């Protein structure tokens, strides 16, 4: 694969992405990769980035690993938006979400907005960069997955402001606004496991149960591998009991981006 580094996609916030492309193939669709780190830390060039990029480019995709704002507070938003964030946080708690508040507060919304800006940038500049399709997926780890899932089913006040992906894979993540799920939304795959001290699997199960109620295309797979960080290694190298590798599940999930192009 080849990599074009330090592409500025959001001049307002000084945000950049690194674009990974297949060596000898035209990339028919692009996957945005969003790192984890509780919206407080992490980097687009973390140790797992290259491994995911290699798997995805081998399958013919481009992968854009993005930076996004970290540690944003309510001060970064208008008074009206800040009030909406507080309202949504209270509703998340009311429906049973059990997560640290940073994972569904102001910094989460900022990351979701930045991810939307990356989608807009790739829609406009994709062809110049070697991406022939406007179809875009999101692969998010932990906090990055939370933002990606929310962008697929955005909170009502942001619905007309953000651009949603065509498919999402979220590892060790959760839907923090499960009431936003709908029948014809983007297909989402969540990979979670028990005894995750950062994001308890019960939070992912909350979203999966709601998806079943409303017929939303959201699937939860319990990898059975305990812990949070351990899920990344399992997804990269592990195999589901049915004999399919988890990376193949991810590639198959994103294959619809080419089929629908």
Residue 260 has pLDDT above 60, yes or no: no
Percent of the chain with pLDDT over 70: 98
Q: What pLDDT does residue 174 have?
A: 96
Q: How many domains does the chain have?
A: 1
Whether residue 148 has pLDDT greater than 90: yes
Query: What is the token pair recorded at 205?
Result: 């199960």
Q: What is the mean pLDDT of the chain?
A: 94
Is the pLDDT confidence value at 8 over 80?
yes
Comparing CA positions, the residue from 143, 170, 132 lying closest to residue 68 is: 143
Q: Between the CA of residue 160 and those of 51, 84, 85, 104, 122, what are the distances in Å?
A: 35, 15, 16, 20, 19
Model-level pTM? Answer: 0.96
Compare 119 and 241 and report the one with higher pLDDT: 119
Residue 210 falls in which region: left (phi positive, over 0), alpha (psi -120 to 50) or beta: alpha
Query: Rg (Cα) of the chain, in Å, rounded?
Result: 17
For residue 114, the domain's CATH number is 3.40.50.1820
Sign of CA dihedral 252, 115, 174, 158: negative
Residue 261 has pLDDT above 60, yes or no: no
Name the DSSP letter for residue 180. Answer: G
Using 50, 70 and 90 to split pLDDT, how confident is the model at 25?
Answer: low
Helix H or strand E segment including 64:
strand 62-66
Residue 191 has pLDDT above 70, yes or no: yes
Domain that holds residue 79: 2-259
């Amino acid at each position: 694969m080849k990599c074009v580094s330090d592409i500025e996609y959001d001049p307002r916030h000084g945000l950049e992405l690194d674009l990974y492309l297949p060596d000898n193939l035209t990339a028919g669709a692009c996957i945005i990769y969003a790192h984890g780190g509780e919206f407080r830390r992490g980097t687009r060039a973390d140790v797992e980035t290259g491994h995911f990029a290699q798997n995805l480019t081998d399958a013919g995709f481009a992968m854009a690993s993005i930076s996004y704002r970290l540690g944003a507070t309510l001060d970064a938003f208008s008074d009206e938006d800040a009030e909406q964030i507080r309202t949504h946080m209270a509703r998340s708690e009311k429906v049973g979400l059990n997560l640290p508040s940073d994972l569904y507060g102001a910094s989460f919304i900022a990351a979701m907005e930045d991810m939307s800006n990356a989608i807009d940038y790739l829609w406009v500049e994709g062809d110049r960069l070697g991406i022939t399709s406007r179809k875009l997926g999101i692969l998010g780890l932990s906090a990055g997955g939370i933002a990606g899932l929310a962008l697929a089913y955005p909170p009502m006040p942001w619905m007309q402001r953000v651009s949603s992906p065509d498919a999402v894979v979220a590892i060790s993540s959760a839907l923090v606004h499960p009431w936003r799920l709908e029948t014809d939304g983007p297909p989402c795959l969540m990979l979670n496991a028990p005894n995750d001290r950062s994001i308890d699997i019960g939070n992912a199960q909350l979203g999966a149960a709601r998806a079943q109620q409303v017929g939303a295309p959201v699937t939860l797979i319990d990898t059975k591998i305990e812990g949070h960080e351990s899920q990344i290694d399992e997804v990269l190298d592990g195999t589901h009991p049915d004999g399919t590798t988890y990376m193949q599940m991810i590639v198959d999930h994103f294959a619809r981006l080419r089929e629908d192009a």
